[in-house]
Structure 1
Amino acid sequence: MKRRAVLAAGATVAGSVVAGATVGATRGATTGDDPEPRPPSPAAETTVETGAVRPGTRRETPYFEVGSDDSGPTAVVVGGVHGNEVSGYRAAERIAEWEVTDGSVVVVPWANVVAVRRNEREGPDGDLNRQFSIGGEPETPLARSLWELVAAADPDVVVDLHRSRGIYGTHGRWVGQALFPTAAGGATSDADAVADRVNEAVVPASMWAHRFRRGNTLGGTSPLLIHKVSADLDTAGVLVELTEFYLDVDTQVRWTELIAERLLSRHGIERRGSAI
């Protein structure tokens, strides 16, 4: 897509968009226990534009469009769909601070901002990641507005950042340390390659249980955001799950950010000063 197309389409994306809003000076690079959203401080060299999803409501939450020029590939990165998954939205805050040298990234750090502020999984309308009906309109106003933003971006890849309590394949129903790709856009190859790269770069040999792996393919069988990306947009997407099992929040955030960086790189979106 052309950069700024999301903001230009604001009237249809979210009812209205606050363009050019002030970006706060508090950096999102640190973690800690405070669940309050921390506005990012983007690199001075990066072009940043801002808008809002559900403006004028208690669910109003900003998004940031970070990029290098008016053309090239586009990614959408979402954090905070579940408000108690701190590493996902803290990593998204950091991504909104990147200097992007190729392509652009639309970042929604606090998708379910009421749940984030309460440090709860669900918001007033229930589990946001069960509201993206396949083949039809999402079930709630917030889910609809988020989906309109994603679709308007015409993304090459969508990345949804989450945190689980346990490890996929080890701890029953928990799904941490796994990358769940769409059935579209070569995302299964992306998940395999990025898991291998991050394992090699940052996961200590002594932490073999924490090695990342590809999870099952998401093709549109459940009303999750990435399922809908696969079925309705036929686009690459990955649901990223870190575990909190024997991982401090700072490590969860760092590894989540690295995974997002490598996933976007595979679609031609490059960050200056890549960490790996």
Structure 2
Amino acid sequence: MQRRRFLARAGGAAALGATGLLAASQSGDDVSAAAEGDDETSSYTLLSETRYATKVFVRRADPASPTALVVGGMHGDEESGYRAAGDVAQRPLRSGTLVAIPRANRVAIRNDRREGAHGDLNRAFPTGERPTTKLARAIWSVVERHDPDVVLDLHSSVGIYRLHANSVGQVLWPTDDGKAATYADRTAAHLNDAVVPWSMPYHDYRVGGRLTGGSPMLVHKVAGDLDRPGYIVETTDFLLDEGTQVRWTKRAAADLLARHGVEPAGGKR
């Protein structure tokens, strides 16, 4: 918490110098950053001047309250995930601090492919070890810098879990944390009641098995290394247009964030 308060004060100092830049460098060559903006929002760039360069957005309503990290675009062909993350990053907050990496894998997104130049980015985060690629290390450095209380990774799937083979669509996957499992249950119930039409029962959201750190994925690493709440959100593209996928993903993210004290200003979750 002390580190988070220091970072919040540093962000505020950068904001007060609206014409200046606060440069930061972490993890050797993994991160190049410059904060900018006002006393509510800022941004910096990971791996600037490389083809992997991508923005990190920070919104602060109350630096003393919880911090959340939202990631999208780990897989470049999952458009609704990175579009939803981008929209979440732009929404003003009522409470908390939100850190967002909407387009984590810019190379894969540009090519509209699941994998980037070094394979599947979401298989580069082994628990208890250093991330295995430069981009993964840069993303993990954001976790280390902002020390989030909860992490959301937004994805999409080609089918529906337990209806289509090898599909995980319409599932919230919580970390092995009592709070995360409880909140995932409540958010799934909320989505099925308020978002998914009654005429589409197969599209009801479910809660998947708890993530424990057993796979080299970002949220697994959050579970295994940090023992904190985290979620993988999977919305299907089966019988859904892109706009609906984005809307449902945003509603899932907003509801989970609000349960952790990072709440959007105005409107429904």
TM-score by structure 2 length?
0.89
Q: After superposition, where does 1:96-135 map in structure 2 within 5 Å?
A: 96-135=89-128
Match of 1:176 among 169, 177, 187: 169
**Structure 1 residue 46 displacement after superposition:** 8.1
Alpha-carbon deviation of 1:255? Answer: 0.6
What is the distance in 1 between the residues matched to 2:69 and 2:35?
A: 18
Per the alignment, residue 225 of structure 2 pairs with 232
**Structure 2 gaps, min length 5:** 12-21
Q: For residues 93 and 198 of structure 1, what CA distance do their matches in structure 2 show?
A: 20
RMSD after superposition: 1.9
Partner of residue 75 from structure 1, selected from 59, 63, 68: 68
| Displacement of 1:185 | 5.6
Asked whether the 8 Å contact 1:9–1:152 carries over to 2, the reply is no
Q: Which residue pairs with 1:20 in the alignment?
A: 36
Question: 1:144 aligns to what?
Answer: 137
- The structure with the greater share of residues assigned to helix is 2
Q: CA deviation digits over 1:84-113, x for unaligned, max 9?
A: 100000001101111101111000000001
- Counterpart position of 2:19: none
Separation in structure 2 between the aligned mates of residue 4 and residue 126 of structure 1, nearest angstrom: 35
Deviation of the 1:70 alpha carbon: 2.8
Separation in structure 1 between the aligned mates of residue 92 and residue 256 of structure 2, nearest angstrom: 16
Counterpart Cα distance in 2 of 1:186 and 1:9: 36
1:33 paired residue number:
none
Residue 275 of structure 1 and its aligned partner are, at CA, apart by 2.0
Q: Contact 1:6–1:153 (CA<8 Å) still a contact in 2?
A: no
Structure 1: give runs of 5+ residues left out of the alignment.
22-44
Give the share of equivalent positions with the same residue, in percent: 46
Look up the match of 1:34: none
Give the 3-state SS of the residue equivalent to 2:253 in structure 1.
helix
Aligned partners of 2:47 and 2:53 also within 8 Å: yes
Instruction: Determine whether 1:156 maps to 2:149.
Output: yes
Give TM-score scaled by structure 1 length: 0.87
Partner of 1:63: 56
CA displacement, residues 147-186 of structure 1 (integer Å, 9 cap, x when unaligned)? 1111221111100000000001111110000000100262
- How many residues are matched? 253
Distance change (3 Å), C-alpha of 1:269 and 1:129: same
